[in-house]
Structure 1
Amino acid sequence: MSRIQCPRCLRPQSHCLCTLIPNLDSRTRVLLLQHPSEVNHALNTARLAALGLNNAELIVGEVFDDLPSLLNPPGYRARLLFPGDDAQPLQAYVPSDEPLLLVVPDGTWRKARKLLHLNPLLAALPRVTLAEGGVSRYRLRKAPGPGALSTVEAIVQALQTLEAPTSFEPLLRPFEALIEGQIAAMGEETFRRNHAEK
């Protein structure tokens, strides 16, 4: 028998995060392109980001046929939040007269690269990166490298850079509750044995 699911946050009703999800305005528009394999992931942080930001949209797929219109909303300059040799630091866009459309692929690094490969228009966007040295609070996953953040953490850091002094930290509340809940479910001893710093 399956558990009743919250239709908004997609968590089991007994672990609904909706009361923790903020309602934040941003000048920056955030477009999250989520690989289908992430939709049912227990820690779907892209969904949490999209729910907490009024100026955000989450689209699930591998090939996005309506990409030309999605990438050209009036009054915004589209930039892809993804590392690359020619990626500009986000600080280069502060201050800016024209707000950014921040396009964020969501999936494992491999799946995110696949989204770029399958959508040449996406891969052709100018790329932006976060400041180095970001430390993830994602204690359940070993980061593939320094500065590797979950999707919601990357969005928070990007918005904090672009829209300082406005704080987007409230977006991390449901994310942190999600992690605490997962740790509680597995038990502190199992968490320490498998995930705590060695």
Structure 2
Amino acid sequence: MPRAQCPRCTRPFERCLCALIPQLSSRSRILILQHPSEVKHALNTARLAALGLCNAELLVGEVFEELPALLQQPGYQTCLLFPGDAALPAAQFAQAQTGLPLLLVVPDGTWRKARKLLHLNPVLAALPRVVLPDGLQSRYRLRKAPMPGALSTIEAIVSVLNIVEAPACFDALLRPFEALIEGQIEAMGEQTYQRNHGDSGRQV
């Protein structure tokens, strides 16, 4: 029988993360587009990000008919967090704007699913793109990164916000994420974790 879940964070009640989820304000607006395959994933970090940021919204689907209206937000400079030939580092993009906060669109899913979201929603492909700086290392530890510098959705959002809204710091958003990871490691057992994931940066 499935364990009862918290309706807010969707974790089992005995591992509820709500007490760790902050309520952070930001000038930037975050729009997370989550592929349906991620919704029931045990390590769903996009939901944690949306819950912890006051100026964030999470939409689930493949085709978002409401996107054109959502992207036309007065007072924001819209951009897509996704690599591309013309993508600019987040800091450089923010500096090039005329003081407007960002409307940051963040696809959530595997790289293949994220590319599918762009393909199915051409309005996304037309947006200016921003990327994270090189050299970042994920704390995920339970998923093998598909490429160097790849971060989970919540880590990527925190990284961008820390850059474009400095000196404000959004690291508190990572507290439920860290607890989520530790809970999964505890559930699988230390030996299983070490056998499958090795010493991939677990903080003791």
The TM-score normalised by the length of structure 1 is: 0.98
Tell me, in whole angstroms, the C-alpha distance in 2 between the residues paired with 1:88 and 1:94.
11
List per-residue Cα deviations over 1:120-165 (Å, max 9, x = no partner): 0011111000111110000111111111000000000000000001
1:166 alignment counterpart: 168
1:100 alignment counterpart: 102
Q: How is 1:102-117 mapped onto 2 (pairs within 5 angstroms)?
A: 102-117=104-119
Tell me, in whole angstroms, the C-alpha distance in 2 between the residues paired with 1:132 and 1:197.
22
Tell me, in whole angstroms, the C-alpha distance in 2 between the residues paired with 1:110 and 1:177.
27
Tell me, in whole angstroms, the C-alpha distance in 2 between the residues paired with 1:12 and 1:95.
44
Does residue 15 of the first structure (1) align with residue 8 of the second (2)? no
2:189 alignment counterpart: 187
Name structure 1 gaps, 5 residues minimum: none
The TM-score normalised by the length of structure 2 is: 0.95
Tell me, in whole angstroms, the C-alpha distance in 2 between the residues paired with 1:120 and 1:160.
29
2:38 alignment counterpart: 38
Tell me, in whole angstroms, the C-alpha distance in 2 between the residues paired with 1:197 and 1:145.
18
1:175 alignment counterpart: 177
Name structure 2 gaps, 5 residues minimum: none
Residue 95 of structure 1: how far off its partner (Å) = 7.5
Residue 5 of structure 1: how far off its partner (Å) = 0.9
1:143 alignment counterpart: 145
Q: Greater shift after overlay, 92-101 or 28-37?
A: 92-101
Runs of 4 or more above 2 Å deviation: none
1:62 alignment counterpart: 62
2:134 alignment counterpart: 132
Q: Which residue type is aligned with residue 12 of structure 1?
A: P
Report the RMSD for the aligned CA atoms in angstroms: 1.1
